[in-house]
Chain A
């Protein structure tokens, strides 16, 4: 698929952010904070980095695969999938509503193209991604497997089972990213359950760790994703510590856990859309 330029990526990111706030506002339910924080990552991945096919097959042979572990940030993923051509953009209006394929947390049962496994219960996605990466290796498939986790999610024990496993088995066709925004539902991660030095921890487990300090700067995100790919095939899995601001792009949502899972009201939506360079009348 054709790679978008940085300018096109930035415009797409604004559109995706508008989708996010509209979707969550429309149903008065969902998780806007980290969705907005991860928008550059998703847009850069899907419109610039991922070798993928919008004629979706669950197996994704010969393609790069992406797995979302922190499934609550489904709005950003749904928007990016729709805008990549996996399904009609109009369907975003059904988010979290009855009879929708856009479940609150991603599901395969509903058959939404682009989604290969359910997520929402935290801690499971990295294991799945590693399994998919190993299966590619068995098949001699040189597709790359990506996974995104939350930083609060690092408190789950399964993450560390997976962290230990991948370097031991030399799973070096895998790029895992942690959305390092420092917030979780009950407050800052430092206050809820301090993660201490995540970089040192992952390095100690045997991962190649890179920091993306400007996780909401498109140039920076694209170059870090490009760099991550150069580290593959050397016997180690790659971890990208993506420093983001929760709620980025909407001033009253930035940098606070309070917008983790809260929907904007009508007034707040108008304000948010104004800030997001509103140019289109609808989705």
Chain B
């Protein structure tokens, strides 16, 4: 009598498996213990043995199909037996509660989508065999597979030429440099003539693993955006005086100690927070608000593949020159990947400044567990009305995003006004 072969469970947490290869073709004789297929689990590709004797009558799933454990994958019949379509259908229906045709369709589609990666797949087993193939780490294999590269082409730096992650990455780098040589040369002149366009140059989709940093960012930002009820307030600040003062100070400061607009903003925010301790706070266990004694300003820094916040500690107490120097050093370390734990720990309020990109206004996501974040935009010359006269003046917008569980609109608005006192009369920042 015909019997079904189903997707086997091959590990305690396996829910789904990929049928990598049929070892027994339709029509082949099958004996108990014969390898009939190779199945890929999260961990490895495993040979699956038959628990039935008979003939591989029909494959119900194509190679490359990914199926949940227990889904029918084949029919094994007794020698000489020819099960009818109805019999097969009813076997499948019994096993899955669904007609077999439905099983086949999504599986076929998958195969079509995945067809191009097949060459890599079949190499896989050779790659790990210590005997003749390429020695490689599982991570290296995964990256190579994602980028459709053959491990044999990569030079391994591990013991006995074992290919590890950094080798594959170096290989990828060298490939992308080789491919982009002309692009970088023509900086500013990147338009191609129409005749050089060809559809063949469309790059394939690329799948990139989340780095540890991106994982941390995504976790924290998702938590904040979903669980912190944000509200947003935007205000314009006149920055004519600030720009003039900065110019004046930078004339007397050595090259290494020049002040940025952001350094003034950090100081101004820190002083304003002294008056609004509720914004220099975090919610604890949904029960208490902790108003922090220290005013530590986190400054978001773009680094490769993500961002970090370096922390200017006790910025309310320090002179701007010291704030500026510390931030500059921390940013340098962050960009070189040499950031120290103390550089990024302990912020009580954060600032994100996209002014250098010419951004006119934006709002930021709170950096948990803080109560608020200030999004600072570009200083721009804009038309403005001064004493009833239309003139041109220097202006900057800033938006606060605040946690409504901790504070309310009026309080945040007052903070923004006090911030104006400091930014618009910047002498206050020096005394």
Decide if A and B are genuine partners: no
| Interfacial residues, chain A to chain B (CB-CB below 8 A) | none
